[in-house]
Amino acid sequence: MRDASPQTTYLKDYTVPDYLIHKVALHFVLDEERTEVTARLTLSRNPASLSMSAALVLAGENLTLQRIILNDGEELVAADYVQAADSLTIYNVPQQQPFVLTIENTINPKINTALEGLYLSNGMLCTQCEAEGFRKITYFLDRPDVMATFTTTLVGDKSRYPVLLSNGNKIAHGELEANRHWVTWEDPFTKPCYLFALVAGQLECIEDHFTTQSGRDISLQIFVEPQDVDKCAHAMQSLQNAMRWDEEVYGCEYDLDLYMIVAVSHFNMGAMENKGLNVFNTKFVLARPDTATDSDYEHIEGVIAHEYFHNWTGNRITCRDWFQLSLKEGFTVFRDQEFTGDRTSKAVKRIEDVTMLRTRQFAEDAGPLAHPIRPEAYIEINNFYTVTIYEKGAEVVRMLHTLLGAERFRKGSDLYFARHDGQAVTCEDFVKAMEAANGVGLVQFRRWYSQAGTPVLTVSRRYDSQAQTLTLSISQECPPTPGQAVKEPLHIPVKVGLIYPDGTIAPCQLQGSADSAEEVILALTEAAQDFVFTGLSSEPAVSVLRGFSAPVKLVMERSLTELAFLLSHDSDTFNRWEAGQQLIGQAITGLIADVQNNRELRLDPIIIEAFRQVLAQPWEDLSYFSLLLSLPSETYLAEQMPVIDVVAIHTAREFVKLTLAEQLQNALQTLYLNNHRDESGCFDAGAIGRRRIKNTCLNYLCALDDPALKNWAHQQFKTAKNMTDQMAALTVMVNNPHYARRQCLAEFYQQWQHEALVIDKWFALQAASPAPDTFATVQALMAHPAFDLGTPNRIRALIGAFSQANPLHFHAANGQGYQFLADQIIALNTLNPQVASRMISALTSWRRYDAGRQALMTAQLERIMSTEAISKDVYEIASKSLA
């Protein structure tokens, strides 16, 4: 083991930097195997630092040092500095302030398979510096509270690297001997080094522009590999939409004259908000109607917006240290969620975000890796780009928005921008701005930042017909998480509405208050509290936690009849859908027990009737309609079980799907046929909704053993001119027994073999299939010529989909799925530690399974722990999973 016990970094140990770097001039001579880097840094001692005679300690990894020059004069000699594996310490730093240090080193991008620092992607050179990648480019104070202006000169071969990009504005360029050229870029805004980027390669550019609210003209450029120029239009439109929205909703205008996006095929994450030069995973840029699904189109717009929004929430105002990561990520996710809700369907977007939160984040919060949105310790910061930091972080910002209201929230964000522009700040600074702008105190609310775990709200009610009052008793409790045995009560906004038995809205008037409204936000601050509603002529149904107003679990006893009533009458779109999910969820839970006890399976007619009623109504938002007809996922159902039984869950859920298909066949067929038309290339809500509802019907119908219906899928596959329809058809053919399954899989590969992103879908689809031969298929696909451990998208498509989206086969009782995953993690440990450690997550929840599986899963985690030269990334996740 290389890192027998890797170091932990603690928030409580934060101190300001001893030195500041004001100006950085970088000079790169680019080469695949030996890039020369010269960094000319203008530094000074930090007056705020308490340490008096500190040496200058710069971070650096995998660098070959050539020489160090002080104040453009003498080269330092060996006695002046000490080099270690991850640092360079310089003694006797000059007294004169500021001083200049010039460091020359070389790097080898070709062997950089971790994709952090400067690396190669399909012959293109590109960088990834967040969180601590800049230290793999040159020696530096690689921490976000050191902010400098950067000037970057790139020198390279004209044929290999015709395009040379970095942050800011292009200020000069020229030609050199030996077919080389150079470009100089200048970024006038100070930034931490994690926002630095360079890209060099044979790229094509598509160009458009945007006029800001103040009338400035911004040039917008998207750079892609030549074969992809025909897949950029949607990304460009998305960028313009995001720019407009941020002006309208937050008053934020873009600040440079140029905004560039580069799409790269080898990327560990989704995208990166480098100042003026975003680097994107191709997955979140490229789209053409025949290659990308409707959901791809939506994700692209969301991610483009997310990175764009970072220009203010992340770049202009950045994080003081990495413990504050949610300051930029939680806020920016909240912003992109709201943007997408405005662009598409608010109801659908909220449901999708909550579904993701409840399956993935709740699981994280309930397991050994639970951490607050502002963590207190980490071994490897790359492991903390989690659903908790991002998605729960966004929920915390959303709660502030709910508590304050849109207008006051905006006052708070305005003050936050005004106070902290150009600074590196903390989550505390954000909350303080919200308080100061509105004259409110958020003392208790701050606990959301420091406390991990998902609170459980228990709600009971009592109607008094004499007094015409309804009392809601709400209590909160949060289970212990690692390192936090005892939890304090949180400040929880609980949005409530009341509905009379005839379906009309009942007034919400709290005792002692003169206001009456259609809904109220209760402020739950104590461990247990009563809320009394008055003036209710008959007992209303209660709609609690409307819009999912807080990231909590709700426990409330409700009959199937009441849930069916809410499914028909709740005016809150989220809770209406939620009532349907609870209804069907309760039924499936009962059936899971029946499966486990070998009882005969029978679906309660109330469920069929509820679905029949949903089907009978006219719906304007067809995407929302599709969600009302969708069953909770196996992963969500698993979350609800004390001991997860993947086989029983799958069996019960499939039984429900089949029964509904049998009972509602006619209505589903009609709905399919009514919405089946070719609207390829149309992406308005109507066309997207029609595709979605149609494919939801197809999914039910192909559960039936009916050759005519199976042929519908086959025909749809053959005639589809858009990826949504083609993929939906192929999915049902792969997930159900189907006569043309093999043939269509082969045809699909044949058709799309040159489109990497489509081939990723082809891998993922097979890896996630419940078909009995899936494990053998996955093993065979590992040897497929198109599989490659060096491409993170491919790893996620095959290994990720199998381990995270196929509970049935990954958790095979004999442990073959676990062993397979551990083999891949061990192989990836040296190749790409970040991706390796993300793949462990499927094993982390081992405590949730039966004893047999627990033993098999922990055995694989232990095997991973004994990996030779284990990376910090893998070590941290595997060891904490076992702890």
Positions that interact with Zn ion (CB under 5 A): 329, 332
Give the nearest distance from C-beta 293 to ligand PHE in angstroms. 22
Tell me whether residue 307 is one of the annotated catalytic residues: yes
Strands 198-201 and 124-128: antiparallel
* Partner whose binding site includes residue 844, from Zn ion, ligand PHE, none (CB under 5 to 8 Å by kind): none
* Partner whose binding site includes residue 130, from ligand PHE, Zn ion, none (CB under 5 to 8 Å by kind): ligand PHE
Our CB check for ligand PHE shows the closer of 307 and 645 to be 307
Our CB check for Zn ion shows the closer of 332 and 438 to be 332
Cα–Cα distance, 761 to 663 (Å, whole number):
32
Give the nearest distance from C-beta 242 to ligand PHE in angstroms. 13
Our CB check for Zn ion shows the closer of 269 and 840 to be 269
Strands 492-499 and 519-524: antiparallel
* Partner whose binding site includes residue 603, from ligand PHE, Zn ion, none (CB under 5 to 8 Å by kind): none
Strands 424-425 and 318-319: parallel
Our CB check for Zn ion shows the closer of 329 and 572 to be 329
Our CB check for ligand PHE shows the closer of 130 and 572 to be 130
Helices 665-675 and 646-663 cross at an angle (nearest 10°) of 80
Nearest 10 degrees: Cα torsion 573, 574, 576, 578: 160
Helices 325-343 and 346-356 cross at an angle (nearest 10°) of 140
Give the nearest distance from C-beta 380 to ligand PHE in angstroms. 12
Give the nearest distance from C-beta 400 to ligand PHE in angstroms. 20
3-state SS track over 322-364: HHHHHHHHHHHHHHHHHHHHHHCCHHHHHHHHHHHHHHHHHHH
Cβ(76)–Cβ(8) under 8 Å? no
Residue 149 φ then ψ, to 5°: -90, 145
Dihedral sign of CA atoms 726, 727, 728, 729 in order: positive
Give the nearest distance from C-beta 832 to ligand PHE in angstroms. 13
**H/E element, 794:** helix 792-795
Coil, strand or helix at 153: strand
Cβ(320)–Cβ(286) under 8 Å? no
Our CB check for Zn ion shows the closer of 182 and 339 to be 339
Give the nearest distance from C-beta 382 to ligand PHE in angstroms. 7
| Short-list 764, 639, 131, CA closest to 386 | 131
Give the nearest distance from C-beta 589 to ligand PHE in angstroms. 36
Our CB check for ligand PHE shows the closer of 272 and 615 to be 272
Cβ(291)–Cβ(758) under 8 Å? yes
* Partner whose binding site includes residue 876, from Zn ion, ligand PHE, none (CB under 5 to 8 Å by kind): none
Give the nearest distance from C-beta 398 to ligand PHE in angstroms. 17
Cβ(319)–Cβ(327) under 8 Å? yes
Our CB check for Zn ion shows the closer of 329 and 578 to be 329
H-state helical runs in 521-645: 560-569, 573-596, 605-616, 622-628, 634-640
Cβ(182)–Cβ(154) under 8 Å? yes
Cβ(258)–Cβ(221) under 8 Å? yes
Cβ(184)–Cβ(195) under 8 Å? no
Number of Cβ within 10 Å of residue 123's Cβ equals 11
**Assigned token pair, 352:** 């999708």
Give the nearest distance from C-beta 135 to Zn ion in angstroms. 21
* Partner whose binding site includes residue 128, from ligand PHE, Zn ion, none (CB under 5 to 8 Å by kind): ligand PHE
Give the nearest distance from C-beta 308 to ligand PHE in angstroms. 10
* Partner whose binding site includes residue 272, from ligand PHE, Zn ion, none (CB under 5 to 8 Å by kind): ligand PHE
Give the nearest distance from C-beta 607 to ligand PHE in angstroms. 40
* Partner whose binding site includes residue 391, from Zn ion, ligand PHE, none (CB under 5 to 8 Å by kind): none
* Partner whose binding site includes residue 404, from Zn ion, ligand PHE, none (CB under 5 to 8 Å by kind): none
Our CB check for ligand PHE shows the closer of 307 and 578 to be 307
Site of interaction with ligand PHE (CB under 6 A): 128, 130-131, 269, 271-273, 306-307, 329, 385
Coil, strand or helix at 474: strand
Strands 35-45 and 19-29: antiparallel
Residue 124 φ then ψ, to 5°: -95, 140
Which residue's CB comes closest to ligand PHE?
269
Our CB check for ligand PHE shows the closer of 243 and 269 to be 269
Cβ(41)–Cβ(100) under 8 Å? yes
Cβ(329)–Cβ(844) under 8 Å? no
**Assigned token pair, 595:** 């499966």
Catalytically annotated residue among 298, 307, 352, 578: 307
Cα–Cα distance, 812 to 774 (Å, whole number):
11
Question: Measuring CA to CA, how many Å separate 417 from each of 169, 251, 312, 458?
Answer: 24, 10, 8, 38
Place of tokens 């400035």: 216
Residue 385 φ then ψ, to 5°: -85, 75
Helices 406-420 and 233-250 cross at an angle (nearest 10°) of 100
Give the nearest distance from C-beta 306 to Zn ion in angstroms. 5
* Partner whose binding site includes residue 842, from Zn ion, ligand PHE, none (CB under 5 to 8 Å by kind): none
Give the nearest distance from C-beta 222 to Zn ion in angstroms. 19
* Partner whose binding site includes residue 385, from Zn ion, ligand PHE, none (CB under 5 to 8 Å by kind): ligand PHE
Residue 864 φ then ψ, to 5°: -60, -40
* Partner whose binding site includes residue 298, from ligand PHE, Zn ion, none (CB under 5 to 8 Å by kind): none
Cα–Cα distance, 865 to 859 (Å, whole number):
10
Our CB check for ligand PHE shows the closer of 239 and 536 to be 239
Our CB check for Zn ion shows the closer of 397 and 474 to be 397
Q: What is the DSSP string of 692-716?
A: HHHHHHHHHHTTS--HHHHHHHHHH
Our CB check for ligand PHE shows the closer of 313 and 355 to be 313
* Partner whose binding site includes residue 271, from ligand PHE, Zn ion, none (CB under 5 to 8 Å by kind): ligand PHE
Q: Which residues participate in catalysis according to the annotation? A: 307
